[in-house]
Amino acid sequence: MSPGNRLSAHRRVVPRREAGHAGRVTPGGHRAVAVAGLLVIGLVLALAGLFGPPAAAAAADRPIRFAVNDWTGQRISTRLMGAILTRAGFRIEYVDVNYMDQLKQLAAGRIDVAMEFWSTAGMAALEEAVADGEVRLFGETGMIAREEWWYPSYVVERCPGLPDWRSLKACASMFAVPETAPKGRYLGGPVTWGGFDEERVEALGLDFEVPHADTEADLYATLQAAVAKRQPVMLWIYAPHWAPTRFDGEWVAFPPFFEGCYADRRYDCGKPSGPIWKVGAADLPERWPEAAGAIEAFRISNDEMGALIGRVEVDGVDIDAVVDDWMVRNEALWKSWLD
């Protein structure tokens, strides 16, 4: 699901160095052994400082805890960053967290990093938390959040005015199904996603009914079935996601979102769009400076993420396998993020 409207925990531990066996001490030799032992310990610590990975030393107190949300793309971006930091010697822990609770969990010190905070969902709360010093922004992910009415490209043959929303006034009936006829059907996401689509239909005078898919899987099953038969379909699609990368289509061009469209209950605009941000605990740079720098450097595009999501959700490849493959193909890139 998209966070605009909404794994078991896994801990990777850096192996601990095994202690050596103490030698036998002869009577009267305790002080010499003690001094020798202190020298050995000092030498070990010095060598560890010289040759051990500084990231692992900095992270020795506890793992860096990453928020895991309930949609595939966020899980992938989180696992990618976790894999990169694991290679650098950090310990990583993944914690299931509700999207809208992330800021509270960061401020309370229960998690350290949230790899995706969508500017389309809860941006005012994020700005307030940053202003209060409770969390820090670590830059954009490179992905742009978009959620809107979407249709396959072949629909334009029967509704040539698209993507202009005004063309839907003349074409609504072509999207009708028995449950909505003679009105067109716009299939919304699960009701928990919100989106104000019923209000948008009324505000813009569109002849559509807005039933909602029970689940995200149902939403995309409807899309796949319609495309297979080249049937007209209009439904909620968000990005980054596999659907826009695997099907040729376009979002409807509604009047641009503006401040007050929702707040003033006008709804005569499209859904908001904007960057997806990386957010972390306020003390992250002080506690793990190398990790903070790598998180800030992390970038991935909508198209690349959409392709990765497709491998998981459509092709059935395990997330860890998808992440491992990406790490191999992009080794020079992610290593540069650690510099």
Q: Report pLDDT for 61.
A: 79
Q: Report pLDDT for 120.
A: 86
Question: Do 69 and 133 reside in the same domain of the chain?
Answer: yes
Residue 273 CB neighbours (<10 A): 18
Give the residue from 163, 180, 157 showing the smallest Cα distance to 231: 157
Residue 30 pLDDT exceeds 50: no
Question: Do 178 and 323 reside in the same domain of the chain?
Answer: no
pLDDT (tens digit per residue) in 203-260: 999 999 999 999 988 999 999 999 999 999 999 999 999 999 999 999 999 999 998 9
Question: Do 117 and 154 reside in the same domain of the chain?
Answer: no
Q: Where do the DSSP E strands lie in 153-305?
A: 184-187, 208-209, 234-239, 249-251, 274-281
* C-alpha distances in Å from residue 160, one per residue of 100, 128, 163, 170, 252: 40, 44, 8, 10, 12
| 3 pLDDT tier (thresholds 50, 70, 90) | low
Amino acid occupying residue 13:
V
Question: Do 161 and 241 reside in the same domain of the chain?
Answer: yes
Q: Report pLDDT for 47.
A: 44
Q: Report pLDDT for 11.
A: 27
Q: Report pLDDT for 36.
A: 40
Question: Do 292 and 206 reside in the same domain of the chain?
Answer: no
Q: Are 111 and 31 in contact (CB under 8 A)?
A: no
Give the residue from 140, 70, 67, 141 showing the smallest Cα distance to 107: 67
pLDDT (tens digit per residue) in 90-117: 999 999 999 989 999 999 999 999 999 9
Q: Is 295 exposed, middle or buried (0-12, 13-18, 19+ CB in 10 A)?
A: buried
Amino acid occupying residue 31:
R
CATH number, residue 214: 3.40.190.100
pLDDT (tens digit per residue) in 48-97: 444 444 544 444 579 999 999 989 999 999 999 999 999 999 999 999 99
User: How many residues are present in the chain?
Assistant: 339
- Looking at residue 3, the DSSP 8-state letter turns out to be T
Mean model confidence pLDDT for the chain: 86
- For residue 264, being part of any structural domain is answered with no
Give the residue from 237, 194, 187 showing the smallest Cα distance to 100: 194
Give the residue numbers spanning the domain of 328: 60-143+275-337
| 121 pLDDT tier (thresholds 50, 70, 90) | confident
Q: Are 59 and 261 in contact (CB under 8 A)?
A: no
Cα(82)–Cα(85) distance, rounded to whole angstroms?
5
Residue 149, SS3?
Answer: strand
Q: Report pLDDT for 123.
A: 86
Give the residue from 189, 108, 180 showing the smallest Cα distance to 147: 189
Question: Do 121 and 70 reside in the same domain of the chain?
Answer: yes
Domain count, the chain: 2
- Looking at residue 212, the DSSP 8-state letter turns out to be B
CATH number, residue 123: 3.40.190.10
Residue 40, SS3?
Answer: helix
- For residue 34, being part of any structural domain is answered with no
Mean of pLDDT values over 267-275: 96
Residue 8 pLDDT exceeds 70: no
Tell me if the bond preceding 244 is cis, omega within 30° of 0: no
Question: Where among 216, 251, 286 does a domain terminate?
Answer: 251
Tell me if the bond preceding 255 is cis, omega within 30° of 0: no
Question: Do 150 and 139 reside in the same domain of the chain?
Answer: no
Q: Report pLDDT for 21.
A: 31
Cα(257)–Cα(4) distance, rounded to whole angstroms?
15
